[in-house]
Amino acid sequence: MAAERGSTLVTVIRSLPTGLLRFAGILLYYLGLAKFVIRLRRTVPRLVAYHASEPTEGPFTRGLECNTAPALLAKHLAFFSTHYQVVPLATIVTGAPERALAITFDDAYRSVYQYALPILREYQSPATVFVVTDAIDKDELIWVNELTWLLNTGGERARRAAATILGANVDAPIGIIVEHARERCAMNGCRDLLDAVSQAAGVRPPPGNSRLYLSWHEAAEMSRAGIAFGNHTATHPDLATLDVVAQQEDIIRASLSLEANLPTHARISALAYPFGACGANTPEAVASCGIRVMLTIGGSNQLGKSLHLSRTPVGRASVARLFADLEIVEPAKASLRHVFSRRVHNPRMRPGRWHSATSEPHVPGAPQV
């Protein structure tokens, strides 16, 4: 419990500068200065990360902060079409034009086909969907969605069981419980956790995956509308917690499935890290699988570093907040991390006060998947 309170305090402290930066960005938006801010960074490519696009969140996603309702998505795309050049992810990699922005969706939810695709077509916006391949055309769920379903359906008994097993606060939001589950699932597998929560709550696991994800047939149809598909691993583990061999096995299985089910023109040699998490050996593992482009969550892109790309998570952000995160919050935080990293590694500077990383395993307020 003390560790939980300490973790919450750290999160609150870390969120303070983010809140101030976001407020400044939202203020700039409402002052009508968005286009001027965007032009100041016109040579830097932007990427955004969506997940689901359900009109109303279902029990598989409720609490993950990963859904962007179709009406809100339409507002985002209208903003993008006015202020950016929305281009395929492949264009970002090969040489982006000014004010370039690429749209991505993680996990291959069927709602992207049902609700997002018509909006993308309306705005003639290309996009890339990153697929967790073991869940496609099978009666299996990504473990995150199954755990979320159990917590939403099983009530207090399910939450208490999960919290006890994971050492989390029973009143913690679903996203925090999922965060606690990440390391356990990587080390011991998730089946034991899911079965224990199901048994304690007296709730049977959902039958099949309730068509939560795309089918390969739907993916092929989307590819004819200009949608590309990339690797999001086979099982959605936290790659940062796995050794190189385990990472390679999961990534290669996903690549083989994409190759077997989609034509060459529909695939891009890119991998989006599950949870945006990247360990020290992850780039090596990904590159050894023949994948050129790696995408994380949080941060800002730099010229000349087009093979390791940062994305801004979206979720339920309003247009004003999305602008603030995309143009103010993430670039500022990335710059601060870079400065503090140089301070730590420069022998002439005193280390100890600052700690930095090239990316954050979890960005406060970001989707949990």
| pLDDT tens digits, 286-338 | 999 999 899 999 888 876 656 889 999 999 999 999 999 999 999 988 877 65
Which pLDDT score is estimated for 354?
A: 22
In percent, the amount of the chain with pLDDT more than 70 equals 85
In percent, the amount of the chain with pLDDT more than 90 equals 71
Q: Is the pLDDT of residue 255 over 50?
A: yes
Task: Give me 250's structure tokens.
Answer: 């999961």
Closest of 265, 199, 263, 274 to residue 239, by C-alpha: 274
Which pLDDT score is estimated for 252?
A: 98
CATH architecture of the domain with range 2-139+208-345: Alpha-Beta Barrel (3.20)
Mean pLDDT computed over every residue of the chain: 87
How far apart CA 109 and CA 51 sit, in angstroms, is 7
What residue type is assigned to position 172 of the chain?
A: A
Q: What's the pTM value of the predicted model, to 2 decimals?
A: 0.88
Neighbours of 13 (CB within 10 A): 9
Neighbours of 55 (CB within 10 A): 11
Please give the C-alpha separations between residue 76 and each of 69, 149, 301, in angstroms, as whole numbers.
11, 28, 20
Q: Is the pLDDT of residue 368 over 70?
A: no
Residue 138 CA to its chain's centroid (Å): 23
In the chain, where are the structural domains located?
2-139+208-345, 143-201
* Candidate from 94-108, 135-149, 318-332, 353-367 with smallest mean pLDDT: 353-367
Task: Give me 266's structure tokens.
Answer: 């529909």
Task: Give me 84's structure tokens.
Answer: 């950016």
Question: Which residues lie closer than 8 Å to 126 by C-beta, 6 or more apart?
Answer: 86, 87, 88, 102, 103, 120, 226, 227, 228
Bridge partners for 122 per DSSP: none
What residue type is assigned to position 296 of the chain?
A: T
